Structure 1
Amino acid sequence: MINKMRSKPKLLVITAMDGKKVIGYKIEYELDDKKFYSWLDGVYTIIESMVLLLQLMKKQHQYLKENGYCAVQTKTMNRWRSMLVNHLELSKNP
């Protein structure tokens, strides 16, 4: 995994912390000078997962807009459809 991360251009890692413990993360990288790929994400507890992932996603979109990117590319399975919907909503309403 570390070697894959090293090979990605402009790797961005966003974390959510509880004290010194990482409880959520998003890992993404640049596809081109206007587009980032939302690669991996995860949370520690399933109960708070959607709220936490939404907070991480908001930080992701804020960072990308502040740094001149105009698109986020992501892939998901049908069972995570709500996360795709959240990406679309955040893209329309920063």
Structure 2
Amino acid sequence: MSVTYRLGTLAECVQVVEQITEFAHKETVESLSARLAEKDRSLIQIAQQGEHLLGFKIGYQIDSSTFYSWFGGVTPLARKKGVAQKLLDIQEAWALEQGCKQLKVKSRNQFPAMLSLLIKNGYIIENYEKKEPLIDSRIHFVKPLEQCHKN
């Protein structure tokens, strides 16, 4: 059975978050809604295989030229199967269609697979927020969207 990628709901994102043990803070529909409340444009994606939700990606436009890839994850059963890559590809293409010129994202030292995915896809480090413990430090990435799909 193949994986389908579609627009999703915040409730579906919460269902995926509950399956990802690396997320210390479990989000709710209310907490996700609060973050998106004042955003003009947002994109909520779901990856699904049959009845199983495999991953999600949420992003929103932060100004006329920038799309922010805010929150996403893939369940342990779906890792290393291209799900995160496909969600990223869809998000980049959508942001470009909306007229955005760049995509920004933050990740943490504790998520090496995400850091690798971003670097592999041409994202460059723009800033670093040192935290204690060091594993919680944030790495800020940016990618000009004209580079999208030229990897």
Once the two structures are superposed, residues 51-83 of structure 1 have per-residue CA deviations (whole angstroms, 9 ceiling, x without a partner) of: 210010000111111221110011112323212
Instruction: Look up the SS of the partner of 1:25 in the other structure.
Output: strand
Partner Cα separation in structure 1 for residue 95 and residue 37 of structure 2: 20
Please tell me whether the aligned partners of residues 68 and 103 of structure 2 are also in contact (alpha carbons under 8 angstroms).
Answer: yes
The 4+ residue runs of structure 1 with deviation greater than 6 A are: none
Name which one, 1 or 2, has greater alpha-carbon Rg: 2
User: Which residue of 2 is the match for residue 7 of structure 1?
Assistant: 38
Give the number of the structure with larger relative contact order, counting CA–CA contacts within 8 Å between residues 6 or more apart.
1
Structure having the higher helix fraction is: 1
TM-score normalized with structure 2 length: 0.53
> How far is 1:3 from its partner?
2.1
Match of 1:38 among 54, 69, 87: 69
> How far is 1:50 from its partner?
6.2
Number of residue equivalences: 94
Please tell me whether the aligned partners of residues 39 and 62 of structure 2 are also in contact (alpha carbons under 8 angstroms).
Answer: no
Partner Cα separation in structure 1 for residue 46 and residue 75 of structure 2: 11
| Structure 2 gap segments, 5+ residues each | 1-30, 124-142
The answer to whether residue 116 in structure 2 is matched with residue 85 in structure 1 is no
Change (3 A) 1:73 1:93: closer
- Counting aligned pairs with the same residue, the percent is 24
